[in-house]
Chains A and B, each alone.
Chain A
């Protein structure tokens, strides 16, 4: 990099003043942003342990007023439902992420190969689907009538396996790996798949961590496909859908004419919403440190490659 010519040689290698200023700015700004992120979440947790009466008027508080665990009781009233929901979601996320990650990275690598003549064509073929979709009815007919996937977990697992966005992202990460690795593999007589599997994949760790995280999140947060394809015949449904039902039932009934037939009694609206947020977020946030490991690891070993 020719930019080194611009560098002033007067400063020391370590602890130059700009580094210190920058660190100060970083700490201040990041800390402020983090407070903005954590405070509302804290208020949600506190409110989820309050009684409905207490928060109805005064809104969110920093500490629970009139401590109550009623909304958690409501959520876990049928624990087998909750446990079932967790198991379904975790299984879907684990299987889907593993399969999806493999296909995405393989495709991303192939599409980044400069010597692959069809890469632009295939990329366009994939990208096009992110712009145009058939709409709800045709997609529903495909899933339910052509593929016969109603009440089948595959209806959730399959459509979320990959997305044009994740493939583009992966392709972009692969780009950072020097082409020489592929070249050296070729010289050693390795096939394309062998090169990908043995040489490329190991240096893609941060990318795999990122895209794996995104995949896992999309499975974790999924409720839309569940609402379309899993009817009440399915005993255990994905977590977010289960929770979504709990909180939306009240809301959608209150504002609709359907309410004329239904009597809703004593459902703690607001605190229940808070509790579901806590229940839904807790486990996945524990996953994040594992993902982070790869970001840090990548930095220190990075120099070895190439």
Chain B
């Protein structure tokens, strides 16, 4: 935490100092008024975003003679829509919100969707951003030696997964300190099953595909030192451990831990910790938890920070806790800095001005606060501790502002939400900070061109078997793991592993 505070202060100083040392006025020709189109995922807001945008555009016009326009990629079918917009761009978009983990930033860089950003460009047109991102971090934004992304590297957030559980029920179950391991979780679930009538311990909506990598990877993090490598279409690529990160783990191919996982989940399934037809259930687990119909929700830390407050309101005394995957083994990787990043569109007609706009969005306090919180006084107030609160009766859906700016949030300018339970959050974050290691694979970008065909088949094999292992939907856990491993072999896992290993060696074992 101290490190972060130091960073924060350093940044504040920087931000304050920069306007004076900034590039000389007149060096950049801004005589032409341009419109910068910002491609962003999210539904078009029905709140006061447009009003705020108008104000921001006034400021932008004044400062750099440009204005910002949204191009929303709505959540309906967003993956297709987003990739289609990138693939068919013709100068109609300038700034693109992206991410290496959930918006395929690297494959899109490889496919030529983004403009490579030279150091000169960044220094000239996005000087504050250039300064605030360390050289080491810029290194992580390079593909083939060129910078493609501007990372959100100064924003503390944790999106590591785990289980939210009710502290009150955990204590009733005899877990005085709460749930801190998969074994505890089993005890907790069993207690609910036996004592809370009509409550399903974890009413998972197994219809979604996201549980497979989270659960399987969660067990793996808790029982091995393996470290997940991002950017693969299938979540079976892990490094051995923090001491030997650049050798691929063979966890999914051999060894007993996966079998143990399958056996345990089979036990849980048979004990009725989730419904029998979990794989086709599409319900809303979080809402059920809020209504006291289920005892757990599997998601990440960031969700927990908000959910804890909600639960306290809806189930007073519930004391929502968070068991994070990897807790038993102290196996925790800090969020990759490119979990959110901004890129410039390859076909942008005004890349310089786009960079200038981004530099202001990210670093100009007035614009940043407007974007993130709206009009001060009217839409929010900040107290002496730097906590912000909304006025009485404030509805985000109608009164708020949504820029969905997840590509350059800046702790130097953020206010904390007064509603959240910062004591509890702080405590967890401190634990995290004491055990975390930095993401070790920032410089490795998987190249799909050699083994893409095999990868697609592996993806299918994984999505076929993993849900059945995760939810214990099988007769014989050992047999299904063996079958899964055989199918991986048949789909060419060894070829792919060899290729990935050699790609990795090329980066890290020079």
Identify the A interface with B (CB < 8 A). Answer: 52-53, 56-57, 78, 136-137, 140-141, 144-145, 227-228, 231-232, 244-245, 248-263, 265-266, 269-270
In the complex, are the beta carbons of B406 and A56 less than 8 A apart? no
Interface string of B55-95 (1 = CB under 8 A from A): 00000000000000011101111101100100110100000
Of A52, A145, A245, A260, chain B has the most CB atoms within 10 Å of the CB of A260
B101 within 8 A of A: yes
A269 CA to B291 CA, complexed, in Å: 14
Looking at the complex, which one of B75, B101, B306, B404 makes contact with A253 (CB distance below 8 Å)? Answer: B75
A251 to B282, CA, bound (A): 9
Question: Does B209 sit at the interface, judged by CB under 8 A?
Answer: yes
Answer whether residue B300 sits at the interface, using C-beta atoms and an 8 A cutoff.
yes
Q: In whole angstroms, how far apart are the Cα atoms of A31 and B77 in the complex?
A: 39
Report whether B293 and A248 are in contact in the complex, using a CB–CB cutoff of 8 Å. Answer: no
B contact set with A: CB distance below 8 Å: 41-44, 46, 70-72, 74-78, 80-81, 84, 87-88, 90, 101-102, 159, 205, 207-210, 282-284, 287-288, 291, 293, 299-300, 302-303, 306, 310, 340, 404, 406
Q: Contacts A57-B293, A254-B205 hold; do A260 and B70 have CB atoms under 8 A apart?
A: no
Contacts of B87 in A (CB 8 A): 137
Query: What residues of chain A lie closer than 8 Å to B46, measured between beta carbons?
Result: 78
In Å, the complex CA distance between A250 and B306 comes to: 18
State the CA gap A158–B159 with chains docked (Å).
45
Q: Are A261 and B404 in contact (CB under 8 A)?
A: yes
Residues in chain A near residue B70, CB distance under 8 A: 232
Whether the pair A145, B90 counts as a contact (CB closer than 8 A) is yes
Residue of B nearest to A260 (CB): B159
On whether the beta carbons of B300 and A245 are closer than 8 Å, the reply is no
A145 CA to B87 CA, complexed, in Å: 13
The 4 closest A-B pairs by CB, nearest first: A255-B208, A232-B44, A257-B102, A248-B76
A254 touches B208 (CB 8 A): yes
- Max chain B CB contacts within 10 Å: which of A251, A259, A261, A266? A261
Contacts A145-B90, A245-B74, A248-B75; A255 near B287 (Cβ below 8 A)? no
Q: Which residue of B lies closest to A57 (CB)?
A: B293
User: Which of A141, A144, A248, A260 lies in contact with B102, CB distance below 8 A?
Assistant: A260
Which among A144, A232, A265 is the interface contact of B72 at CB below 8 angstroms? A232
Instruction: Report which of B76, B90, B209, B340 forms a contact with A245, defined as CB distance below 8 A.
Output: B76
Assuming A145-B88, A263-B306, A269-B284, is B42 touching A227 (CB within 8 A)? no
Residue pair B75, A260 in contact (C-beta under 8 Å): no
The answer to whether B84 and A140 touch across the interface, beta carbons within 8 angstroms, is yes
Contacts of B42 in A (CB 8 A): 262
The answer to whether B76 and A136 touch across the interface, beta carbons within 8 angstroms, is no
State whether A228 touches B75 (Cβ < 8 A): no
* A227/B71 in contact, CB under 8 A: no
Chain A min CB distance to B229 (Å): 16
Minimal beta-carbon separation of B466 from chain A (angstroms): 15
- The one of B81, B84, B88, B283 that contacts A56, using a Cβ cutoff of 8 Å: B283
Query: How close is A60's CB to chain B, nearest CB, in angstroms?
Result: 13
What separation, in Å, do the CA atoms of A144 and B209 have in the docked complex?
33
